Amino acid sequence: RVRLDSERRQSVVPQVLSILGLLEIADGNAYEAMRTVAVMDAIEVEGGEVIGDSVAANTHRFYQHYLDDTMQAIEDIDAALELDASNPLLYASRSLANQRMGDFDEGRRSAETALRLGPPGWTLPLYLLSNITLNPTDQLELFDLIVQLRPDDWFAVNFRGAMRYHAGDLEGARADLDRAIELGPNANFPYAYAALVAVRQGRIEDARELINTMLQEYPQPAFVDRIVRATFGDEVVNVLGAEVAAFGNLALGRYEQTLAILEPALEDFGDVPDFYVMQGIAYCNLGQYTAAATAYSRVLSLDPDYAFARLLRADTLLHLGQNQYAIDDLNILEAALETHETIDPQFDPYLEAVRSRQFDCTNLFGVNIAAAGMTTDLVFHDATPTPSSPTFSLNAPFRIPTQAPE
């Protein structure tokens, strides 16, 4: 029972949402469960007082306290477990709260208990375990099982695709992300990761189409980051949320916001090449070409075969007046394109477009905001031009300047 002291000031909406969240957990629908928590976090409604000391009452209190007083929420769910010690939903809820508090060992134990007690085929405990599994191979095995159990769940297929992408399995990632899009997602994540895969494979036109769809249908770049943070707090390191949020802001032309997202992300994920690519694009669009070139060089130190990053560095070097370095990068790409073993034929015209100054960081996503002066052909010669900004060295330490070049 819920008691309302003021029908104008209080509402049963929080209790209704807690029931909805519990039903999504029971169904194994991780995305909808997290989205419900995010809604609970966003609404500004005072709930009524939960009356009684039953399992249901303590579970309602758990959700009532989950966001603002997670330790109290754990006490609430423990009180419910005292009354129903074999309820797998309670252990799954407890694991969520444990992880939100950063107690991952206890979170693992709670998730494992939920898995043992739950019905066959219940995937929610597998999600919980994957979230605190540090070994990427073990994580992928858990998601293989989740997808096997929920083959038509776009979120599960998308998440496995993102993991395959980070593992370097571009074809596997592409298959999963195409399937996730086919299943009709109601969020932008599959489009963002499918675009990243397309960029890595040199399928620039495909990437542009995916980005345009994402911008038209899902213009909330930080949504995935918001639902993960609402569910797990700041204790869980979240590469997917940061990557999608940064990519979405970049596509929207919000370059300062992109850099603000990337700064803490790079502290946690300094070995993720895409973060440096996005950083370079943002700096380039802000006219900070030395910083952009440094970011692209960091990408190539992590993955020398990242063709799009090399193309972007060549463009940035042209902006810096470092023509010979730019020509070297373009020649490397031209040699790689002869076989098309690792680069899609869609990449070919973009190489020529950079040479002729028809394509640069300002029109990556199909909107040309470059000045008319961008149409001058590049003249290949050995003379060293006068730099238009401080000299950039390919051998310089990887340090991102904090000021734009004069």
298's tokens: 């960091």
Say if CB 189 and CB 158 are below 8 A apart. Answer: yes
| % of the chain at pLDDT higher than 70 | 82
- The mean predicted confidence, pLDDT, of the chain is 83
- What pLDDT is attached to residue 46? 63
Percent of the chain scoring above 90 in pLDDT: 51
Q: Which strand (E) or helix (H) includes residue 49?
A: strand 49-50
The residue among 98, 132, 166 that closes a domain is: 132
- Single-letter code of the amino acid located at 356: S
The verdict on residue 237 lying in a domain is: no
More confident position, 49 or 213:
213
**pLDDT band at 7; cut points 50, 70, 90:** low
Q: Is residue 127 located within the same domain as residue 161?
A: no
Query: Quick one: 110 and 183 in the same domain?
Result: no
CB count, 10 Å around CB of 386?
Answer: 6
Q: Which of 38-52, 182-196, 392-406 has the highest mean pLDDT?
A: 182-196
Look at residue 51 and tell me if it is in a domain: yes
Q: What is the CATH number of the domain that holds 339?
A: 1.25.40
Range of weakest confidence among 79-88, 90-99, 177-186, 237-246: 237-246
Residue 113 lies in a domain: yes
In a domain, 371, yes or no: yes
- At 8 the pLDDT is 56
Q: Residue 389 falls within a domain, yes or no?
A: yes
> pLDDT grade, residue 328 (50/70/90)?
very high
Give, in order, the Cα–Cα distances in Å from 335 to each of 35, 215, 257, 267, 305: 47, 34, 36, 35, 12
What pLDDT was estimated at residue 351? 86
Is residue 18 domain-shared with residue 124, that is, in the same domain? yes
Using CA atoms, how far apart are residues 163 and 172, in angstroms rounded to an integer? 10
Same-domain pairing of 279 and 203: no
Mean pLDDT computed over 299-310: 94
Structural domain count, the chain: 3
User: Which of 133-142, 265-274, 357-366 comes out lowest in average pLDDT?
Assistant: 357-366
Q: Give the residue from 398, 219, 206 showing the smallest Cα distance to 295.
A: 398
**Mean of the pLDDT values across residues 160-177?**
96
Q: What angle do CA 310, 311, 315 make, to 5 degrees?
A: 115
Residues of the domain holding 201: 133-219
Q: Is the pLDDT of residue 127 over 60?
A: yes
pLDDT one-digit tens code per residue, 49-81: 666 789 988 988 898 888 889 999 999 999 999
Are 166 and 101 contained in the same domain? no
CA angle 279, 240, 190 (to 5 degrees): 100
Do 280 and 367 belong to one domain?
yes
142 in the same domain as 62: no
pLDDT for the residue numbered 349: 87
Once rounded to an integer, what is the mean pLDDT over residues 363-384? 39
Last residue of a domain, one of 219, 254, 288: 219
pLDDT at residue 184 in the model: 94
Which stretches of 271-347 are DSSP H helices? Answer: 273-285, 289-302, 307-319, 323-337
**Of 102, 132, 162, the domain-final residue:** 132
Q: Which two tokens stand for residue 321?
A: 């007046």
**Lowest-pLDDT choice from 216-220, 337-341, 384-388:** 384-388
Query: Is residue 321 a part of any domain in this protein?
Result: yes
- Mean pLDDT for the stretch of residues 349-365: 83
- DSSP for 159-203? HHHHHHHHTT-HHHHHHHHHHHHHT--SSSHHHHHHHHHHHHTT-
Question: Is 101 within a domain?
Answer: yes
pLDDT the model gives residue 317? 95
Mean pLDDT in residue range 89-110: 95
pLDDT for the residue numbered 190:
94
What pLDDT is recorded for position 382? Answer: 30
Q: Judge if 123 and 175 occupy the same domain.
A: no
Question: What pLDDT score does 237 carry?
Answer: 59
Query: Are residue 15 and residue 46 in the same domain, yes or no?
Result: yes
Query: pLDDT at residue 18 above 90?
Result: no
Q: How confident is the model at residue 291 (pLDDT cuts 50, 70, 90)?
A: very high
At 350, the pLDDT band (50, 70, 90 cuts) reads confident
As a whole number of angstroms, the distance between CA 343 and CA 341 comes to 6
Asked if residue 248 is part of any domain, the answer here is no
Strand, coil or helix: what is 369?
coil
Q: Are residues 106 and 137 in the same domain?
A: no
- Non-local CB neighbours of 335 within 8 Å, separated by 6+ positions: none
Query: Bridge-partner residues for 46, per DSSP?
Result: 10
Query: Average of pLDDT values for 191-219?
Result: 91
Higher-scoring residue by pLDDT: 22, 8:
22
Q: What is the pLDDT of residue 50?
A: 62
The enclosing domain of 180 has a CATH number of 1.25.40.10
Residue 405 has pLDDT above 50, yes or no: no
24 with 121, same domain? yes
Min mean pLDDT across 39-48, 352-361, 390-399 is at 390-399
Handedness of CA 279, 285, 288, 293 (dihedral sign): positive
Please check whether residues 279 and 404 belong to one and the same domain: yes
CA distance 210 to 192: 7
